[in-house]
Structure 1
Amino acid sequence: MTTHADKPRLDPTALRHLTGNGDAPRLLDVRTPGEFRTAHIPGSYNVPLDTLREHRAELLHHLDEDVVLICRSGARAAQAEEALAEAGLPNLRVLDGGVTAWEAAGGALTRGPDRWDLERQIRLVAGLLVLVTGVAGLFLPGLHLIGTAVGAGLTIAALTNTCAMGMLLAKLPYNRGPRTDVDAVVAALRGTS
């Protein structure tokens, strides 16, 4: 079995070349709607990772050309790649470094209202949990173990390339925005085929 690390990645310069010469692949941004509204690559479609996993069979019929999967840094896009590859879609690539690398390479972004991205929210919540339980543990013995559990969770997240805290934070109204309508995504994909 191949892992996403075995599959070719697309660097931002190569994607800029493809989008600039009119031979652009489908760009699927798998971040939360809140993150997508903050900044996204022009011409990309927002299909949050959970929605993509749940409706991959429906989406598969409208993704017959090359597809580039995008997230903030590449981790969620790699998970989306695995889900779509399992469903039988062969023409998949992940934008290496995600939107962060795209912007650093001078790629254009469509911007909306500024919000904190999911990874920054995870760092805030994890840091606050460790800080508060560490200080409170001075007065309430054993409470510091919550910080230890957070550290263990972050270690597991790094080793498995998944994040339970991120999945929970993605479900908050701040990150969800309006629910992604799969029919609207399919109609948009069909309209530009």
Structure 2
Amino acid sequence: MTTPATYGIAEARARLHELTVVDVRTPGEYASGHVPGALNIPLDQVRRALPELRHAAGRGDLLVVCASGARSQSACTLLAEHGIATATLVGGTHAWSAGGHALHRPAACDTRAGWSMERQVRFTAATLVLLGLLLGVLVHPACLLLSAGVAAGLVFSAVTDTCGMAALLSRLPHNRPRPADLDAALAALRRR
């Protein structure tokens, strides 16, 4: 299996008008900000979109995007297994934003949460660590295991470039925007 092609931020931005950009993040992540013009096809829906993605890839370059590049790599691998040539954006939307480029945040797709998922994860992790420390001092030393567990989870998250806490937090009611309009995304791919 070959490694999918990659686009750096500058190259992707320069060619954005000629690329079909597919964002494979969750609807909540997509709503919090995405590369302008990106269509939201969550990673768990990519198989359903194979015919339309094949059609779009036949008409031009298909760029797959996620937050950091891990999920887009997975999507590119899956698409390559089905004979669909794709590329991934190095560093994902985090790198796009860090490069000073605006993320599109449509009002109709906004989540009800006022904080980004990254900020929610930092707040929750810090709160759990502090709670574990306080309970460990005031109630019972075994409560320190809560802080240790969160620390271990953060290390695992960094090593694997995944975030279980974000996955859990994204299921909370205030983080659930409207579901991805997969039918609209598939129709847009057919028109390309």
TM-score range, shorter chain: 0.7 to 0.9
Equivalent residues of 1:133, 1:147 under 8 A apart:
yes
Equivalent residues of 2:24, 2:40 under 8 A apart:
yes
Deviation sequence 1:46-105 (CA, Å, 0-9, x none): 123xxx32x32221111121321222332333343344445x254222211222322343
Equivalent residues of 2:31, 2:177 under 8 A apart:
no
- Counterpart of 2:85 in structure 1 is 91
Farther off after superposition, 161-170 or 128-137: 161-170
- Counterpart of 2:120 in structure 1 is 121
CA distance in 1, matches of 2:166, 2:80: 23
1:37 maps to which of 24, 31, 39: 31
- Counterpart of 2:168 in structure 1 is 168
Equivalent residues of 1:28, 1:67 under 8 A apart:
yes
What is the Cα-based RMSD across aligned positions, in Å? Answer: 2.4
CA distance in 1, matches of 2:98, 2:152: 32
Equivalent residues of 2:4, 2:73 under 8 A apart:
no
Q: Secondary structure at the match of 2:88?
A: strand
Equivalent residues of 2:34, 2:103 under 8 A apart:
yes
CA distance in 1, matches of 2:156, 2:146: 15
1:18 maps to which of 15, 19, 41: 15
Please list every run of 5 or more consecutive structure 1 residues that lacks an aligned counterpart in the other structure. Answer: none
Equivalent residues of 1:130, 1:146 under 8 A apart:
yes
Farther off after superposition, 139-148 or 103-112: 103-112
1:73 maps to which of 68, 71, 78: 68
Quote how far apart the aligned CAs of 1:146 are.
Answer: 1.1
Equivalent residues of 1:60, 1:89 under 8 A apart:
no
In structure 1, what residue type is equivalent to 2:134? Answer: V
- Equivalent residue runs for 1:41-60 within 5 Å: 41-48=35-42, 52-53=43-44, 55-60=45-50
Quote how far apart the aligned CAs of 1:141 are.
Answer: 2.1
State the TM-score, normalized to the length of structure 1.
0.79
Question: Would you say how many aligned residue pairs link Structure 1 and Structure 2?
Answer: 181
Deviation sequence 1:9-28 (CA, Å, 0-9, x none): 21111011212xx4x22211
- Counterpart of 1:105 in structure 2 is 99
Equivalent residues of 2:28, 2:170 under 8 A apart:
no
Quote how far apart the aligned CAs of 1:130 are.
Answer: 0.8
Identity %: 40
